[in-house]
Amino acid sequence: MPEITVLGLSKTFGKAAALSDVSFSVRDKEFLTLLGPSGCGKTTTLMSIAGFQRPDEGLISCGERAFFDGARNVCLAAEDRNLGMVFQSYAIWPHLTVFANVAFPLKIRRTKRDALRRKVMETLELVEMADLAGRYPHELSGGQQQRVALARALVYSPEVLLLDEPFSNLDAKLRERARTWLKRLQGELGLTMLFVTHDQDEALSLSDRIVVMNGGKVLQTGTPEEIYRNPASRVVADFLGRCNIMTAKVATVAGVAPPGGPVSLVLTANGQPVTVAIPHANLAAGDEVQLAVRPEAVEILGPDSAAGSPAESAAAENTYLAELRTVSFLGDHYVYELNADGQALTVTSTKSVAGPSVMVRIPRSACKVLPA
Partner 1 sequence: MTLRATARPAPAGAEVPAGHGRTPGTRPRRLVPETGLQAIIWVITGLCVLCPVLPLLYASVRSLPVYESGGGFTLAAYGQLFADPAFRAAAVNTLEFAGVTTVCSVLLGAGLAVAVSRTDVPGGRGYSRLLIAPVVLPPLGLILGWNALYGPGGYAHQFVNDTLHIPFNLSTVPGMAVLGTAVAVPVVFLVCQAALSGIGPELENAARSVGAPPLRVLARVTVPMLRPALLNAGLLVFTLSIESLGIPLVLGSPQGHDFVASYLYNTWSSGSTPDPPIVSAGATVLLACACLLLLLRGRLLGDQARFVSIGGRGGGQAPVLKLGPVARWAACALIALYLAATTFAPIAALALSSVVSELTPLVAPWHLLTAASWRAIGRGDYVSSIRNSLEIALVGAVITAALVALATAVAHRSRFRLRQSLPFILLFPRAIPGIIIGIGFFWSFVIVNPPGHALLNSIWGIMLALSVRSLTLAYFVMSGAFATVSDSLDDAARSGGAGWWTTMTRITLPIVRPALFVSFVLLFVSILNDYDPALFLVTPGNQIMGVTMLQTLQAGTTGPVAALAMVQVAITVAAIAVAARLFTTRVRGSRNA
Site for partner 1, rule CB under 8 A: 50-52, 77-85, 87-95, 104-105, 108-109, 136-139, 145, 149, 152-153, 156, 162, 169
* 97 vs 233, beta carbon nearer partner 1: 97
Looking from the CA of 331 toward its CB, the CA atoms found within 13 Å total 0
Q: How far is the CB of 79 from partner 1 (least distance, A)?
A: 4
Q: Are 355 and 321 in contact (CB under 8 A)?
A: no
* 166 vs 231, beta carbon nearer partner 1: 166
Pairwise CA distance, residues 4 & 301, whole Å:
49
Q: How far is the CB of 109 from partner 1 (least distance, A)?
A: 7
* 33 vs 53, beta carbon nearer partner 1: 53
Q: Which of 315, 318, 355 is CA-nearest to residue 339? A: 355
Q: How far is the CB of 304 from partner 1 (least distance, A)?
A: 44
Q: How far is the CB of 27 from partner 1 (least distance, A)?
A: 22
Q: Are 110 and 98 in contact (CB under 8 A)?
A: no
Q: Strands 193-197 and 31-35, how do they pair?
A: parallel
* 64 vs 79, beta carbon nearer partner 1: 79
238's CB contacts (< 8 A; 6+ apart) are 245
> Per-residue DSSP letters for 158-189?
-S-EEEESTTTTS-HHHHHHHHHHHHHHHHHH
Q: How far is the CB of 196 from partner 1 (least distance, A)?
A: 13
The DSSP 8-state label assigned to residue 55 in this structure reads -
* 43 vs 348, beta carbon nearer partner 1: 43
What is the sign of the dihedral through the CA atoms of 201, 202, 208 and 211? negative
Q: How far is the CB of 43 from partner 1 (least distance, A)?
A: 9
Q: Which of 183, 210, 171, 176 is CA-nearest to residue 40? A: 210
* 156 vs 181, beta carbon nearer partner 1: 156
Q: Which of 49, 37, 50 is CA-nearest to residue 9? A: 49
Inter-residue long-range contacts of 110-116, CB under 8 Å, 24+ positions, other chains counted: none
* 136 vs 334, beta carbon nearer partner 1: 136
* 87 vs 181, beta carbon nearer partner 1: 87
DSSP-assigned beta bridge partners for residue 247:
290
Q: How far is the CB of 40 from partner 1 (least distance, A)?
A: 16
- Distance from CA of residue 172 to its chain's centroid? 17
Q: How far is the CB of 34 from partner 1 (least distance, A)?
A: 17
